[in-house]
Amino acid sequence: MTQKELYIVPEDKLWLENRIAELEKNIQDLGPDFYDVFNQSSETWHDNAPFDALRDKQSVLFAELTKLKDIRRQAALSLPKARKATVAIGSTVQVNGKRYGIAGNWTPRAGQMDDGKLVISADSPLAQSLLGNIISTTTPFGVLEAIE
């Protein structure tokens, strides 16, 4: 079974890289805290609640880091080349007077307003009905009025 390409727009790649760096730093910064929790209690390590809490925090950070690195590894190196005047990943479109920005298959910005447009994933039903279309196409969600 072939795996579908994972496309990510440049803004989301930048967010991904910044978040990975932030998580790596946060995990690294836990080192002194581990030293403190090992040395603050006369109890053994298995009865040390502060250690358990810190280890849980580290696990949550590491799980997110692992997931984001996996997304980065699977991401296509570039977006597919769009035909002129057609909707593609990275396009901004107007449907029934509302502006939408079509992000890639993965985006942390889905559902957020960005520069006057609602960001949607390329996998959303609205984006799927728009991708590859030209202006004046009628979709189940309305008429495609503009492509930027």
pLDDT per residue as tens digits for the range 88-128: 999 999 999 999 999 999 999 999 999 999 999 999 999 99
pLDDT at 84 > cutoff 90: no
Burial class for 29, CB neighbours closer than 10 Å (0-12, 13-18, 19+):
exposed
pLDDT (0 to 100) of residue 1: 45
pLDDT (0 to 100) of residue 5: 85
Q: What's the CA gap between 1 and 104, in Å, rounded?
A: 22
pLDDT per residue as tens digits for the range 8-64: 999 999 999 999 999 999 999 998 888 887 776 555 556 777 788 889 999 999 999
Q: Which of these, 119, 116, 147, 112, lies nearest to 131 by C-alpha position?
A: 147
Q: Which residue has the tokens 């007077």?
A: 97
pLDDT (0 to 100) of residue 41: 58
DSSP class of residue 97 equals T
pLDDT (0 to 100) of residue 17: 98
Torsion of CA 98, 101, 102, 106, to 10 degrees: -130
pLDDT at 142 > cutoff 80: yes
Q: Do β-strands 117-120 and 138-139 pair in parallel, antiparallel, or remain unpaired? A: unpaired
CA angle 132, 134, 137 (to 5 degrees): 105
Q: Which residue has the tokens 């769009």?
A: 82
pLDDT (0 to 100) of residue 35: 81
